[in-house]
Amino acid sequence: MLEEKNDNLLEADGNLENHAAESISTEADGNLEIVATEEAVTESDAPILEETTPTPELNIPDENQTILDAIAETNAEESEDETLKERHDIPMQDYETLSMEVLVEELKNLVSNEKVMSVKEHVEEIKKAFLAKYNHLIEEKKEEFNAENTDPNETFQYNSPLKTKFDQYYSLFRDNKNTHFKSLQTNLKTNLETRLAIVEELKNLIDPQANIKDTLKHFNELRERWNAAGSIPKDKYNHVWNNYHFHVENFYDYLHLDREARDIDFKHNLDQKLKIIARVEALVQESDINKAFRELQDLHRIWKEDIGPVSREHRDEIWNTFSALTKQMHDKREVLFEKLRGTELENLEKKKEIIAKIEVLATEKVTAHALWLAQIDKVEALRNAFFATGKVPSEVNEATWSSFKIAVRNFNTFKNSFYKDIKKDQNDNLSKKIALVAKAKELQESLNFAATTPIMKQIQEEWKQIGHVPRKYSDKIWKEFKEACNHYFDKLKEQKNEENSDEVLSFDNKKAYLDTLRAFELTGDHKTDLDAIKLHIETWKNFGKVPFARRHIEGKFNKILDALFEKLSLSKKDTDMMRFSNRMENLSESNDTRKLDNEKIFLMRKIEEVQNEIFQLENNIQFFTNTRNAKKENSIVLEVRKNIAIHKESLDVWKDKLKQLRNLKTE
């Protein structure tokens, strides 16, 4: 990346010219000929001068120097590990606002697709956000467990597949990082030894007795070896670079005999540094300040590592200009940070409001489970809002998080106190339901359907009336109860299906018998005809019940009977009682207890009505018999007495019907 930026500084017309070989003759020590070849002054061989650490004569304010030192320290760290230079290519998200599921997915993508040191800061932020949410979840689950569990021997356990995935991806990242660092440490130590050896060779390079051409060649070889030496530990970075540049400058001073070649090199370096200054001036106007500051760090690295020294007359001026522009960029960055801090302060106020609302909910007294569910939903919504709110100032981050946890914990404690109070009721309900399960299992094989079915229905009604049981037992006992009930009613259904086939046969028989009954003729003998009708009734009964949907055939049978009774000239009472008896027996055979009960109530009301009517008529008679003409009963009195007799006869019929119905139910 640095090489690309360095190349970009060279415009099409600003490339270094290919200097023709120059011969500089001197007569010192005889006819010594010093040749400055093309390779001595090319860009790739340009000597490097350490200027990020200013020399004593540079007058740079302390604040500016602090900024430069910070940039130098960052570059030293990134030079130690080249992968650090790429970490800014991946945008840093506000991981605190993401859910646990999304955090795990982000971690997976970073670990699987990016270089380990490029995502180090991202992974640590994801870990911090995930563990905060996970630990909060564990605290809630543990409090719920303590509230519901009454067995002191049972320990809290909670397994999260999401946490397992997170641990898997984080372990992979940690293994990759350890492997990376092991390799890096070995290389750093070797590279440091190589660079120190190069510095020692530079010290010994100045030798008046040596051939200049050979010395220049050796000097260029040392620079090539230096550029290829690789990264060194960051704590040695500035010291080693300063030593190297010091001895490079000494060698340039030693080359005073080759002043013209040196000046050409100085001019090239000056052009390069002026282009860097021009680029920084443009960066000061850049809208994306973070991106511009990162490029500024790269330009500092290029200035220091890739471009050699300039002449002393320009050295202080361009360095001070470069430093001043760096200060401007830093000031713009500080303004941005202040703006971000303002946003963080706004987030802090929002989170304080959320915490305050949770604290209020932790004091509102709620007395019903449904209401508590609504309270829990409110806290969950506030909890999600807290996590969705962005970062707060780092100095209050821990305190804010602590306040949030305390508020939620207080709410959970308050909630759990309610459920502890109803825990005893739930255990009592559990005992009741266990008893019903046992009863249902006991009856599930019963074949006495007439007696067992009402009991099973009653058991189901009792189950509905019993309240909640502890959640960990709820599904288990419901499954057992449901299986027992289903088993019994499945058998009842099978039995009814068998009975239905008998009822269909009974209907067919009765349908055929109706034709026989329609052809029946009375003989004229009262007793013989009455016995024949009773035999028909008995035969009809013996056919049994018919399907409910086909019970209309009973009405047809009753119509034929009514016609026969009319022809038989029975008394009204006898006819009425025979019809009533036949109808009641049909209801009894169909087990229609509801209609039988309704009939009983009807009869009792009719008896009461007739008795009241008789009582009123008898009172009226008393009025007329107490008059002067009591011996001579008039037509009104005779009519009243006749009505009384009719009502008494009717009362006897109603009483006989009620007696017959009671005898029928007793049987």
Domain ranges within the chain, ordered by starting residue: 2-339, 345-422, 424-498, 596-667
Reported residue count of the chain is 667
DSSP string, 301-322: HHHHHTS----HHHHHHHHHHH
Whether the model pTM is above 0.75: no
How many CB atoms are closer than 10 A to CB 527? 8
Tokens found for residue 457: 């229905």
Distance CA 123, CA 172 (A): 11
Distance CA 643, CA 99 (A): 91
Residue 248, Cβ density class (10 Å: 0-12 exposed, 13-18 middle, ≥19 buried):
buried
Longest dimension (CA), the chain: 190
CA trace torsion 536, 537, 542, 545 (10° rounding): 130
Helix (H, G, I), strand (E, B) or coil at 192: helix
Tokens found for residue 655: 């009483």
For 639-662, write each residue's pLDDT tens digit.
777 878 887 877 888 887 778 777
pLDDT of residue 423: 76
Distance CA 35, CA 11 (A): 29
Distance CA 624, CA 634 (A): 9
What lies within 8 Å, CB to CB, of 398 at 6+ separation is none
pLDDT of residue 478: 92
Contact present, 551 and 507 (Cβ < 8 Å):
no
What lies within 8 Å, CB to CB, of 558 at 6+ separation is 579, 582, 583
Tokens found for residue 322: 């470069």
- Amino acid in position 150: T
Backbone angles phi, psi at 558, to 5 degrees: -65, -35
Q: What angle do helix axes 593-625 and 635-666 make, rounded to 10 degrees?
A: 160
- Residue 35, beta-bridge partner list: 23
Distance CA 641, CA 205 (A): 158
Q: Which residues of the chain have pLDDT under 50?
A: 1-58, 87-88, 257, 630
Contact present, 580 and 660 (Cβ < 8 Å):
yes
Helix (H, G, I), strand (E, B) or coil at 586: helix
Closest to 586 (Cα-Cα) out of 615, 622, 569, 561:
561
Tokens found for residue 625: 């018999």
pLDDT of residue 438: 92
Distance CA 50, CA 561 (A): 129
Tokens found for residue 223: 């620079």
Distance CA 34, CA 212 (A): 6
Backbone angles phi, psi at 186, to 5 degrees: -60, -45
Distance CA 473, CA 428 (A): 13
Dihedral (CA of 230, 234, 235, 237) sign: positive
